[in-house]
Structure 1
Amino acid sequence: MSDFEVETPVKMHSSPHKIRRRRLSSDYDSEVAYRNRIARLIAAKARPFTVSGRIPVDPANLTLFFRSKSGITHSLDFPVDIDEDMPPALDVLISSCRPHSPSGLEDFSEHESLFYPTNLPLTATLEIANHPILDAVRNTLFPALPVGHYLTSMRDKLEIWLPGGGMKPLRRPNDTRVATIFVTLPVRFKGGALVVRSAEAAEEKFHGRGGKAGDMEWTAFMGDCDHEIQPVLKGCRVTISYAVHLRTFGTAGICPDPLISPSDQFLDMVSPILNMSRGRKIAFYLSGDYGVNPADILADSLVPHLKGGDSVLYHALKLYKLNPELRWSAGGYIWGVDQVVDLLTPAEDSPTATTPRTPYAIINGSSPLRRTTSNASDDTAVVEDMRTKVEKSGAITLAEAEVIVLSDTTLTAPITKERVPFVQGNELERLVVNILMVVYVP
């Protein structure tokens, strides 16, 4: 027998299985938290609702001009620190302001949130159009904004929060704004952070203090967001807000309010033509050069890109509550508004087209498609082959579509000519295609 005696001490900690289980559970919780943080980051990246930046302006070069209720014009110079010196002009500005709705101020009993009356003149030497703020707003908050749509800003109001004052979320403005820009003026304060909440309840906070001397913070947020101002602890917060609206040079798309309007004289020329065309579907040739391939895009997608007289005519027809459409047309044929010029592949070419051909030219809209050649028999074969291609692509004649093209044969006005490449007789050729602005006059 062995002389060794071994005693095993009683272990007070958990068994190895419990330790392993606890370690695994901790690792699992950490992994879940890690994944949740990634999900929140990706969600925030997918749809940003705020953007902020700095305006590199020397406060000494900034002046605010306003007119008080007594009719006297005052000027307020910056920077301002009311704890050291209260400028008389700021006193007048505060006394001219009005409080916001009391319903949102129940937690702020010492001072109310104030705004300068919109009926009194107010201007500042700071103009946000001189800084690429709207470009930053477009690139960040509206990255998918179609070409031809633009952001414009209009000064909304000047607001003031004194010590102890703040603002709970107010009712969103009942206008067509798509975003709001807050510019914090160089008045020293503490607290008073701007809190913005998105429609999905995500939250961002901005303190409004410059990162370095000479900087002013601006913050922009989407029009469907709520915002509030936390209580100001010290000093005075002064901001100017701007309403951001969406405008376009075309009357289609997501913005129905264009930036341009036809002249009265132009409308006077359009009106009698519409009166004499009642019950008809009329069309006008476009004259601009848009450099697109009709086989790739719909003609109606060019509406935001219309320029020159094409844009003016489109606006004029929309002002008469009509619905013009852009459609491809070639050689007396017209494609539907939802169709591209999809010509046949070489394998589907007609067997009659086996010899090299020259490019086709399109003549007046109601005339048949014709090729520039001196050989009448060859011309007939080419026209029939091209007609087959066009009809198989979905086009119908202008007569079948009941479209009347309005044009002046005595005037050599420019006509839009886009080109669709296709293979004919082992050679690359191009079909010249026009764009028609078609509208039905009831």
Structure 2
Amino acid sequence: MEKVGIARVSSSSHSIQVDLSQLERYVIEFAQENAHLDRDILLDIDLIKNRSNIILAVETGAVMASLTPTYEDCRRATSNTTLTNEFIFVIDCSGPMRHENKIDNYRPLFPDMTTVYNEENVRKAEEFTKKMQAGLGGTELLKPLQWLDKSRPKQGHTRQIFLLTDGEISNVNEVLDLCRSILNFTRIFSFGLGHSPSHSLIKGLARTTNGRFVFIHPNENVDIYIGDQLQKALPSCITNIQVKWNINTTVMHTPTKLLPVYANDRLIVYALANDQTSTFDPNSMVESYTHQCRLCEANIGRVPNVNNDRTIARLAVKVRILELQHAKIPRTNTESSLQVRFQEYHQTSATNSEQDTTKEQIIELSLKYQILSSYTAFVGVEKRTDMSNTGMILREGPIESIVDDQPLQRPHSAKRHPISSLTSSNGLNIGCLRKSAQPRQKRHRCVDQ
């Protein structure tokens, strides 16, 4: 790891040793000889205080730029006067799933969807929430989100949606696909309430829109969790950011559509050279700006003398593959002289052709950089020089539950299923899940009739 701009390196997951003796880089090693890899390796990197708001990581043929605007940057970009955040609360008022009824009706509290925060509007909101009751049928999220998609915020504004639900839906993929179309101006902070909310829904809503998710157990204070997430949603943001790569070679930049970036949060962009053997000119520069002001710039300078294992290139390709997989094929305009039946055939043929082109791009990138995609799979073939199992050692490690990328604290009475790892003499690791000998307990969900 290169030393430039870094004050300190530590780890909250493993014991590490940091070698400071080398001139240009830190060398990080495990402090223990046999470190268990039963959890992610987390490195906490503290940057120097007097630093630029853009940091570059460079390797041969690839550049990663991390933009972290300050509050001052946000004030300059918004002319110091514009209010940029809208806050919308979506409350699930569904009740027991009697006859699988769905909530098809929804209505906003204010005529213009959002309004200025003042005492009068706060009073209306409090009166509205006191009258709210559950029991309207099953959970239906697609139509309210479609309505929000049609009623987009003003230019330069971003929308923070706080969504509270305790249920499940049958069309999770359709809802998440809609969220991908609004992530340019929307973040969703999702809250799963009660015993059994849908984890795929709660996590998917937040991760798709670069938001946050929280699961709140029964008898816990909801206000505390919402207040904590509200603090994360309050900072100002910068929209319509553009990045200019002043580089001496042709590059593919990704993501192609940049999301709003919030104060003290980060926006990561990549540039991948078409010729992976090319080296960047020392005078190459990366600039970030909006239509109102210039935010920052940084010189690429040189490729640091570290291991060049194409990590940045593979990260860039991973982002690009995900972008291609979730891209929507635009409808093409057909000539008005065609009959309707021929228009449909022409439209279908054009769409299939574009889908095939996208599929070919994904497969090409996946095979070239060895990144998994929806169209590829990689098979690992074991090659042993010693066919005996006598040199294998049994190691056990607990399986940790993760909540919002943080380990879940379990009570001491809770039992964990260990992972058994057999390590052979030639360094091959074979992982397997060892089931508990106790019979599996069934879980019942109680529903008031």
For normalisation by structure 1, the TM-score amounts to 0.22
For normalisation by structure 2, the TM-score amounts to 0.22
Q: Rg: which structure is higher?
A: 1
